[in-house]
Amino acid sequence: MYSFEGRIRYSECDEAGRLSLFSLMNYLQDCSTFQSDEMGMGLDGLTGRGLAWVLANWRIEVDRLPAFGERVRVSTWCYELTRAHALRNFQMEAGGERIVRANTQWFVYDSVRGRATRVPEDQRVYLSDEPPIEMAPLARRIVPAGEGERAPEIVVAHRDLDTNHHVNNARYVAFALEALEARGAQAPACPLTLQVQYRTMAFLGDKIEPVVHPCEGGWDVELRHGADGATSALVRIQGRKELA
């Protein structure tokens, strides 16, 4: 298990003074990149071989969002690694209590061939003996119901990109929340579950067409690639009744 500690900054908070969902995702992503850096793989990682780890699927269960100034501990570990993919857990703790847990699925992407490829043997260094968190399984494929309602188009800007030169994983969630706001819809309050499935990459200048669908206890937001109508990402945000 790899962990780092932090304190919630004002710049990371929403209007209620709590960590925003966008900032939460960045904490989790930062944890895995910090681990890679400390293992000597850094941002360059597999780049020299034309390869990169790409995230395909998130499930994040949030019991509560920490407030401004709270001290938090973020941890991650890879509990399954095969030739096809990796499964990685994350958690955020505050005051000795786990308040966020997440499960993720990753693939190695071959940028030359433009497709997923086998996980190199040297990447087994990430595999941990830590058992997985007990939580609901990752959804295989989320399918929104009905035609949905369109929200204003988004044009991908430089601020949306990461070092792989495509839209950063967390930015898709920001796009979805902006689409909900534009449609006059409100995201569920905590406790909540956030699921994100990434399907096609979006790049600088691409046009994203959000489509908002109601689902049980919340919303599905399709982020369609304007050029061909394919779904770049599907974001589902739902309230969780068991802790409400």
pLDDT, tens digit (0-9, with 9 covering 90-100), for 58-115: 999 999 999 999 999 999 999 999 999 999 999 999 999 999 999 999 999 888 888 8
> Is the same domain home to 105 and 171?
no
Query: How far is Cα 33 from Cα 40, in angstroms, rounded to an integer?
Result: 11
Higher pLDDT, 148 or 228: 148
> Is the same domain home to 119 and 220?
no
> Is the same domain home to 85 and 156?
no
Residue-level pLDDT at 48: 74
Over residues 168-173, the mean pLDDT reads 93
**Confidence band, pLDDT 50/70/90 cuts, at residue 235:** very high
Classified as helix, coil or strand, 73 is strand
Range of the structural domain that residue 172 is part of: 140-244
**Which of 138, 157, 179 represents a domain boundary (last residue)?**
138
Over residues 126-151, the mean pLDDT reads 92
> Is the same domain home to 131 and 28?
yes
Residue 160's domain is classified under what CATH number?
3.10.129.10
Residue-level pLDDT at 229: 83
**Which of 118, 138, 158 represents a domain boundary (last residue)?**
138
Average pLDDT, the chain: 92
The 10 Å CB-count burial string (b at 16+, else e) for 170-193 is bbbbbbbbebbeebebebbebbbb
Query: How far is Cα 221 from Cα 10, in angstroms, rounded to an integer?
Result: 28
The region, left, alpha or beta by phi > 0 then psi within -120 to 50, assigned to residue 40 is left
Over residues 18-26, the mean pLDDT reads 96
**Which of 138, 158, 178 represents a domain boundary (last residue)?**
138
Over residues 149-178, the mean pLDDT reads 93
Number of domains in the chain: 2
Residue-level pLDDT at 242: 59
> Is the same domain home to 153 and 212?
yes
**Confidence band, pLDDT 50/70/90 cuts, at residue 244:** very low
Residue linked to tokens 């989320």: 142
Residue 241 has pLDDT above 80, yes or no: no
Query: How far is Cα 176 from Cα 55, in angstroms, rounded to an integer?
Result: 17
Query: How far is Cα 107 from Cα 115, in angstroms, rounded to an integer?
Result: 10
Nearest residue to 101 via CA among 193, 197, 172: 193
> Is the same domain home to 77 and 189?
no
- What does the pLDDT look like over 172-209, one tens digit per residue? 999 999 999 999 998 899 999 999 999 988 999 999 99
